[in-house]
Chains A and B, each alone.
Chain A
Amino acid sequence: MPNQTTASSPIVEISELDFCYGSVPALHGVNLAIPARQVTALIGPSGCGKSTLLRCLNRMNDLIEGARVVRGSIRIHGVDIHGPEVDVIELRKHVGMVFQKSNPFPKSIYENIAYGLRLQGVRDRARLDAVVEQSLRGAALWDEVKDRLQQSALGLSGGQQQRLCIARTIAVEPEVILMDEPCSALDPVATAKIEELIQELRSRYSIVIVTHNMQQAARCSDQTAFFYLGRLIEHAPTRDIFTSPANPQTEAYVSGRFG
């Protein structure tokens, strides 16, 4: 995929997307352009389809039986990711994902970060060392763990584990990072660290974050998209969504009157 986008042009274009779990529709006619090197927050009440949309972007929904795109397309750099020439494995290297519940492998911190590269057959110790350090620095975790890289990742705190998962994701150098409520299981201090990290990462990656936390969306995103019952209700710069929403439903949601 060519990397020629400027900061403002969209890296992901979703058009007229209809998505179903078996016979249950989850998304209706979603049109959304996700800008490169910005943070786009997807908000909305539970069951509104925001996580479904997120999981469409790296085709993690392929794993769910009966889940399928009924209509419309998702293009990344202009390439339809459901096209026959697209290798889903290749796609997932370009579109990384951080999950709601931190899920480090029961291996050492080092091996967790090196996992993605080892999958690609990298054995060169010096290169692995470099990537591990670089990724841990990138995820603001290096200073905390540099003395215990060979210890189990499961000995880390919840917030550290989540940052480890982010480090593991950036180790394979994706262009887009998807985050599915990455802070919902963390305390406020750990959450603040992750939000800080997101701010640092946005200069290099395009980030899409699903969140239930309105303040989080307001604090750390550039664009916000509000979903309700499987439809995209409003998509605008975050400031506009929170100060002068165009749609009354959006206003009701962001002001806490429902959801």
Chain B
Amino acid sequence: MSALLVAEGLTKRFGGVAAVADCSFAVDEGSITALVGPNGSGKTTLFNLLTGYLTADRGSVSFAGRRVRRPDPTRLYRAGLTRTFQQARVFPQLTLVENLVVAIQQPWRAIGRRALGRADGERAHRLLEEFGLAALAGDRAGSLSYGQKKLLGFATVLMGEPRLVLLDEPAAGVNPVMIETIERHVRELHARGLTFLIVEHNMNLVMRLCDPVIVLDHGTKLAAGPPSEVQSDPRVLDAYLGS
């Protein structure tokens, strides 16, 4: 397996606090990699660095074998690296279909075309069907429940035909049935060749779904390996439970 995403020596300081400190790791193509760690260990900051929402003070990121010189969310999305947000973020005044269609990569010359072309609409409807949201296709996204918004956020990033999807706490604040639904979708998409990097606090889900697991503490990599190995690593237990 080759590495799809490589981070080397990533560092980001906020004032005197190093949220991410000299962090290096790789995400193999075709894996479902988990990124875990205690609260405040720098997981979300790391996500923001990888997706271009923040600029690193030091270090580099390579995606699909190419160094990312100017990290920018839009450009990375178009290159196939995309993310969801910890909070379920949707475009509340837009309909579900519009939420999906806006995420299709459009060339500049297409911006004058009709907002919901037939092909776009069909693609969006297929995806909504898949995610069990088809009945709500014409409703405003703001009227969805929290769990449904998370599903919609997940579906939205798939419209860009990504290679790597970063999920930021997909199971947080979501009922158990919805967690199963999200897990099923990750497995299906993984079977179709998508790579995942998942930040998650729900350890049951992580242990079931992910391999390898990367443990972060104080902004740097503490351990990495198969879930069973990481689980029994004394350093990891230490970080979570304190010594």
- Whether A and B are associated in the same complex: the answer reads no
A-side residues, CB < 8 A to B, are: none
